[in-house]
Structure 1
């Protein structure tokens, strides 16, 4: 025959060593199978809890060929509790691929999810959120409360939220018309409260009294609440949150929200949330009366944060009513207190441990002096990117004679002389951090300041990019005390 072709012998089929290597090729999946095999071996040493029927099924599977057994879902022999224990040990990157294996794995993976950020309000109303993730304890509904155009190519990201914008967003990025109707928000909150009674953290936008009341009544374990676009009237709804410990109120955000939280709302808050430990007021109005009510009613308050506040003059004198306050934080405040009042009426915070000023404008000497007098017992002081903090303003910090930790970052107006005049009067100073303060120079460090550096427990000195003091002090013992090395 003219056309003859030499036939190659067929290669014998390689028999798989075990069904796990035949079924899974990914290393992470092999790890799951190995875990299941180990559980099976450990169970074989003790009386098996499986019924005789499942033993029969396992015996039949062992008799079948590897090819046929590979087509059988062997994980069906495992209980949901055992699979949940296996899935909980996997890294987070494996959870989404595992949920695509089958419907059973999808439902089991949903039971392991405890925190979600919802983007579609209909997903909550329809009940699919409950059926998909039945064990949620942390829910963020801010983005879902905004009816933003998903097809828009403009995405604006703020520290509080991210929204898609259309061409008609002036004068606010999130206008009133883009918010969901109050009735629809109330309906969704009722569904959420009834479906997740063990909710611990909730983030809301434009909530009403009715919606917050349903959450407060149905979720007794709610501990953390964040309210965006908050108003005085809506704060009446959280009076039933008896176990609330962390509360964050966001009233006005320039360009995004425009709502009012005044002394009326702060009084509702004080009378309703008496167990609050951490309170943050962002873009909120108020005065002496509102802060006084919080101090008199919230005896467990330990941390107070004021961000871009709109407080009336004289509010600082009410801080003395916060008898257990340990941390006072001011962020992005254009002013502290323009009219703090007479010094003898200010009072003080005897339990205060930390004072943090971040991105604040410190240009008023009277308000700066009053703040330091109120916080005279502070142990840790932090100034970060504060405008106007020069030598004269920093001198008022000498009233705080119990400071042990000082951190300065981005204070470009402060000089070495101004720093030295204050910290040499602090006899208990143990840790010093000076970063990106360009007017503080190595060449201006005096012998008195150098001797102070030698007894500090911790020193981080990099006021500018040309600073050579840190490398020069390495190995000399400066900044080394009680076995803690120089940083």
Structure 2
């Protein structure tokens, strides 16, 4: 009978010693040994054997010692410096910020250093200075919601653009909805702006409501890097403080908001703005009551202006003539405007915006054919035209866009009155058209696409065709490689009650 013997290996035995199985006991022993003083005692009994110096236990001699060192540290991230841990935390998604800040006080402080943008809801959090201790590196602060005085115990909430507030449940009361009395007064807002300016000298973007001239001045003096400013409940007097914002590039002014507040921004304020902010690149005027003189001053002084947005404007008739002074304007946008310009003198020479590239209409009422035609004549060099959810845009109104001969991109969305014939009558004359997007235009039908319109489609580089839910043109055009070499044509064939568009390629 054969017997097997196992060879003894000292190296193999040292890797897993029996006395290391209880790791907790070993860690406690080493920890207590480290707490003992390193200096030996002066006198020891002669009969007692002298113990080895403590330094011998501190020298890592085997791999076992490395294991015990890491086991003594409960938080492994404490071995990392703040700089390294900040780089690691910055790579994590923003959705994990709240959970990361709950790990420890150190992580809470480090996570606060990564926050650059914040919306303020508690005004005392700003005045007490806790905002800057918690978030020392802020560059974007939105103070609008913090300036509102609304009943917190109300379950009724109202939201308008960036403003969200609670309203009272007593409908019979005059103050049950939003009014100017539910906003902090200008002095309180200015005090908060001074605290913010002292705590955030590197501020780049600020959103505030009901500020005065002195509050804006304090920010402009203490925050020289301020580049973007948004003012709600703005008036002419507030605009005097913007003159010191020499590096301001983006400005949004909100004067009158129907149902919420009404603050007048007239030609006086626009002229002050133009003379103080000569480096403006983007300007948005919402509910402003300017006219020809104010727009002219902006065009003459703000020569770097590239984008102008008019939202629900209250401009006086004739302001459209001043747009030609904006020589470097590239984008003109109308948002929620009930009119463009009702002046009866629009048939005269309007000039031209030579550098204009994009013209956009969103949620506007386009019912005045004369003003729309005059605007198209003024912007006849545009290469991009966007019409989204505009009321009153029928075939006759859209036909005024025939003067735009250089359009390369056309987007129609939510234009329910426009028909297929009205679309064809315009784009058939645009020889430079490269991209077309039609969405949610119910009166534009697939079955009404004729050979002339099909030839226009075949020359496009990009076509997104979804006028209604029953449209099947986009599905049939998928993978057709439009715009590449080869002859393409569309053939319409009716099958039952449905229409299909077929694409055939022939090499010649």
TM-score (norm 1): 0.84
| Distance change (3 Å), C-alpha of 1:186 and 1:417 | same
2:313 aligned to 284, 301, 309, which one?
Answer: 309
Q: How much has 1:158 moved relative to structure 2?
A: 1.7
Q: Which residue number in structure 2 is paired with residue 81 of structure 1? A: 83
Q: Which residue number in structure 2 is paired with residue 420 of structure 1? A: 424
Distance 2:59 2:197 in 1: 44
8 Å Cα contact 1:315/1:340 also seen in 2: no
Superposed counterparts of 1:294-333, under 5 Å: 294-333=298-337
| Distance change (3 Å), C-alpha of 1:207 and 1:350 | same
Q: Which residue number in structure 2 is paired with residue 437 of structure 1? A: 441
Residues 104-128 of structure 1: per-residue CA shift (max 9 Å, x gap)? 2221111111111010111111100
1:481 aligned to 477, 481, 484, which one?
Answer: 484
Gaps of 5+ in 1: 1-11, 20-55
Distance 2:298 2:338 in 1: 23
8 Å Cα contact 1:172/1:256 also seen in 2: no
| Distance change (3 Å), C-alpha of 1:13 and 1:60 | closer
| Distance change (3 Å), C-alpha of 1:128 and 1:457 | same
Matched, 1:352 2:386: no
SS at match of 1:343: coil
Gaps of 5+ in 2: 1-19, 28-57, 489-502, 504-508
1:120 aligned to 113, 122, 129, which one?
Answer: 122
Matched, 1:458 2:466: no
Q: Which residue number in structure 2 is paired with residue 237 of structure 1? A: 241
Q: Which residue number in structure 1 is paired with residue 399 of structure 2? A: 395
Superposed counterparts of 1:149-298, under 5 Å: 149-167=151-169, 170=174, 173-298=177-302
Q: How much has 1:455 moved relative to structure 2?
A: 0.8
8 Å Cα contact 1:456/1:481 also seen in 2: no
Q: Which residue number in structure 2 is paired with residue 140 of structure 1? A: 142
Q: How much has 1:341 moved relative to structure 2?
A: 2.1
8 Å Cα contact 1:436/1:462 also seen in 2: yes
Distance 2:215 2:97 in 1: 33
Distance 2:470 2:75 in 1: 66
Q: How much has 1:380 moved relative to structure 2?
A: 0.5
| Distance change (3 Å), C-alpha of 1:409 and 1:76 | closer
Q: Which residue number in structure 2 is paired with residue 383 of structure 1? A: 387
Matched pairs, number: 436
Q: How much has 1:306 moved relative to structure 2?
A: 0.5
8 Å Cα contact 1:383/1:407 also seen in 2: yes
Distance 2:372 2:106 in 1: 62
Q: What is the Cα-based RMSD across aligned positions, in Å?
A: 2.7
SS at match of 2:125: helix
Q: Which residue number in structure 1 is paired with residue 111 of structure 2? A: 109
Distance 1:376 1:421 in 2: 17
SS at match of 1:333: coil
Q: Which residue number in structure 2 is paired with residue 32 of structure 1? A: none
SS at match of 2:348: helix
